[in-house]
Amino acid sequence: VADEYVYDTAKSIIQKSRQPLFLTLLTVSNHQPYLFPVHEKVDHIYNNDDLTQKEKAFQYSDWALGDFFSWYKSREDFTNTIFIVTGDHGFFDDNSNKDLSINLDLYHIPCLIIAPELKPAVINKIASHIDIIPTILPLIGGKFIHQSWGQNLLQDKDRDNFAVISPSGINHISGIITDSHFLVYDFQTTNILYKFLNINSSLHIVRDSNNKLKKIELETLIGSFLKLSAYTLNSFKSGIPQFPES
The DSSP annotation for 24-57 comes to -----TTSTT------TTTHHHHT-TTS-HHHHH
Predicted local confidence at residue 97, as pLDDT: 59
Bridge partners for 194 per DSSP: 182, 207
Residue 242 has pLDDT above 60, yes or no: no
User: Amino acid identity of 89?
Assistant: H
pLDDT by residue (tens digit) across 89-135? Answer: 887 666 665 555 688 888 899 999 999 889 999 988 899 999 999 99
| Mean pLDDT of the chain, nearest integer | 89
Predicted local confidence at residue 101, as pLDDT: 66
Task: Using DSSP, state whether 207 is helix, strand or coil.
Answer: strand
pLDDT band at 217 (very low <50, low <70, confident <90, very high): very high
The C-alpha atoms of residue 121 and residue 135 are separated, in whole angstroms, by 14
Across 24-45, average pLDDT? 94
pLDDT by residue (tens digit) across 195-208? Answer: 999 888 888 899 99
The C-alpha atoms of residue 100 and residue 167 are separated, in whole angstroms, by 6
- Counting Cα atoms < 13 Å in the Cβ hemisphere of 197 gives 7
Predicted local confidence at residue 56, as pLDDT: 96
Residue 78 has pLDDT above 70, yes or no: yes
The C-alpha atoms of residue 55 and residue 30 are separated, in whole angstroms, by 8
Predicted local confidence at residue 159, as pLDDT: 76
